[in-house]
Amino acid sequence: MVTLATLMYEIALTRIFSVTMWYHFAFVAISVALFGMTLGALLVYLLPQRFRADRVRHHLWVFSLLFGISIAACFAVQMSIKFVPHKTFEGAFSVVATCVVISIPFVFSGIVVCLSLTRFPERVNRLYAADLVGAGLGCILLVVAFAVLDGPSLVIGIGALGAAAALGFAGDAGSRRGLALAGVAVVVLGSFAMVNGHLHSEGNPYLRILWAKEHSDPEHEYEQWNAFSRVTVDGDRTPKPPASPGLSTTLPPDVMVSQLGMLIDSTAGTVLTEYSGDPDETDFLRYDITNLAHFARSDADVLVVGVGGGRDVLSALEFDQRSVTGVEINGNILDIVNGPFGDFTGHLDRDPRVTFVNDEARSYLARTDRRYDIIQISLIDTWAATSAGAYALSENSLYTTEAWDVFFDSLARNGILSVSRWYNTVGSAEPLETYRTTALAAQALEEHGVADPRRHMLIYHGPPRDFGVSIATLLVSPEPFSSADIAAVNEAAGRLAFTPILTPDAALDERFEGLAAPGGPGDAVDEFEVNISAPTDNRPFFFQMAELDDIFDRGGIGNEHVTQPVLVLGMLALTVLGLTFLCIVVPLLLTTKRSSHRGMLPFYGYFAGIGLGFLLIEVSQLQRLSIFLGHPTYALTVVLFSVLLFSGVGSMLTERFVRPERPASFVVPLLVLLGVVIVFGFATPSLIHRMDDATTPVRIAVAVGLLAPLGLVMGTPFAIGMRAAATRPGAPTAFLWGINGATSVCASVFGVVIALFLGISAAYWAGFLAYVAAAVAITMIARSSRRGAPAPAADPTPTRREQELAEARA
């Protein structure tokens, strides 16, 4: 129950962070969770008089209860902290304060887990398995719970689950007071979660999000949560000029429409437009640059990627196209558009020309036999996040060469892929997104066998609108554009005052011309001071354009829009690593007797290796499967569930084949682990590419199948290491735990950094190298066991005087 609640809290924080910060900060929650739990184990080690063996059952219920209560209390505090991702004192304070506050419940959880695994050594394999399996089940339970509760209410409910664990421990300890206190906590926290969830459905909860993306979060007209988004609807129905940054300046000023704003995770904006079925109500869409493709193709079958509020679907109807299929991964968005606001939007789901599909676009297109005349992708992701330097760290499965190959294969003959991205953005000195989209198109065409990409591309940008931002639309086709196509688009662009960026006959500047030159964009990409090369599934970070040497040389770029995201990542990474060093490494070094370290160096290398290896492989698989499964929360849940569940099974199996009297039994599982990591390192990319046309349930099953063998073998090293350490009288097991925890925290940060700059595969193979180091270390341990290694001091527990001296030094 404790580890179930711990994992639920950890993943719930990633969901909350995507609303209050940015979703890619999921790794921060993982790092802080590891940090907090390791710090809890460290407290058990540093305070032996406080955590005596004869009081272990008492401590288990006390700290389980504190764990549950602190989840609710710390979450309420964290909601009041305004997260400011800037290089200021306020920004540094917000980062540190957030990390410290959210780590407190994990400290209590770490104490409980450490006491359970170290005070009952004869049951360590089964207890470690229960630890992992409980955590894995928490991943699944969270997805189910999000179907009935909003984010803040769910976090309080998780606190009730943590307190419920105290009931079991208090019963085991025979503590009536513990049973009473835990029962009260469960009732109070559970009742508050249910009441707050009910009030949330009515629009006036007690506990709600206060700060979102550096701004005060208002009460919303409508709000709905699920496991990977919070969707809100606001605004009034008073007719006003249409909201769209892609509109032409030639739009008559007297055009008025009624629209409501929809936000996904506080920033990804779209609009709901009032529509009664009269085409005259949507004439303004003919002035939008995102709809240029409709001037080149009539009576077309259209596919819209990312339905949002339905604007692109309405555009297809406005141009009287034959059919329109809207693919939307977020079922809540479709429910809102066609449910509570269906009367306002005209119930587009009832139009015989319209089909809505709740699916991931790449998956849907890869498995359908239907071919489309137009595939439209308009501003999937949001400028609000980009300008704050957030999406530069997020992976996106739509903007890679592999994805565009799927799109090209799904087009009818002479079909058009229409992609709209920002041209001018706040904080950006150059149209970097448009440059990179051009490079992506040229590279995808070159890999599709096109000799001269420029003949297959038309790019235009609109005038600056609100805040000085403007949109560019790229039209790309596997077939060369005909003179009639070019004339039709040019006529519409000229009439609407859109500026041509790149056509077969003209280029706005030589950089666009170079990117679309025969042979691909390679040489032209090298001329940029930032990285605008075509993203791939191995490096799917479309918005990440900074290189390592750019971070401290901003003058060479002159573009804070590029460097700020990586600086924010660096600040968060340094915070986590600094807290790890100060709170874990330093106390361990100061309080562990030198005699306890004698002959233990291979153990330290071993536990450091498995800590690095486990998290590096887990993070890399998490990122790989974010692309495969279509959304990072799916990947987070599936990866954690599978790895933890099967690691628990692997831990259980160690008691069957690991025998301390046979040191060789320590080495063989590590060799098997290395072999499995090698096999799945090559098999995973290949298999997920072959299964690109599978449905989401099948993809989840494939992901579990890929992760199960890895989890099974990765669950054995920790238990093996602890059993090997048990053969050494007086071995500092808590120190080993601390090393494993500290390196795991570091690996959760390193995995993100390596993937950003070197690729996801590089992060995976870095984890393999860490396991190689662990295998070498366990081989040394096994050999020394055969020879009879010198034992550390018999009693590593410091005397009272030594403890006082250690505390004075600290």
Domains and CATH numbers, the chain: 1-214 (1.20.1250), 279-336+351-545 (3.40.50.150), 601-810 (1.20.1250)
pLDDT more than 90, % of the chain: 51
Residue that the structure tokens 């420029």 belong to = 454
Mean pLDDT of the region 791-806: 44
Using pLDDT thresholds of 50, 70 and 90, give the confidence band for residue 790: very low
How many whole angstroms separate alpha carbon 75 and alpha carbon 104? Answer: 10
Q: Are 242 and 249 in contact (CB under 8 A)?
A: no
Percent of the chain with pLDDT over 70: 87
pLDDT averaged over the chain? 86
User: Is residue 579 over pLDDT 80?
Assistant: no
Strand order across the beta sheet in which 323-328 lies? 354-358, 323-328, 301-305, 372-378, 411-424, 470-476, 457-461, 499-502
pLDDT (tens digit, 9 = 90+) per residue, 320-357? Answer: 999 999 999 888 999 999 999 999 999 999 999 999 99
pLDDT in the model for residue 66? 98
pLDDT tops 60 at residue 586:
yes
pLDDT at 317 over 90: yes
Q: In this model, does residue 425 exceed pLDDT 60? A: yes
pTM of the shown model:
0.86
Beta strand pairing call for 354-358 and 372-378: unpaired
Q: What tens digit of pLDDT does each residue of 252-289 get? A: 999 999 999 999 888 778 999 999 999 899 999 999 99
Q: What amino acid occupies position 796?
A: P
> Under a CB-based contact definition with an 8 Å cutoff, are residues 44 and 677 in contact?
no
The answer to whether residues 391 and 23 touch, using CB atoms and an 8 Å cutoff, is: no
Question: Helix, strand, or coil here: 232?
Answer: strand
pLDDT at 553: 57
Q: Which of 69-83, 428-442, 687-701 has the lowest mean pLDDT?
A: 687-701
Q: What Cα–Cα distance (Å) separates residue 699 from each residue in 229, 364, 638, 688, 696?
A: 20, 12, 10, 8, 5
State pLDDT tens for residues 8-66: 998 888 888 888 876 556 556 777 887 788 788 878 877 888 888 889 999 999 999 99
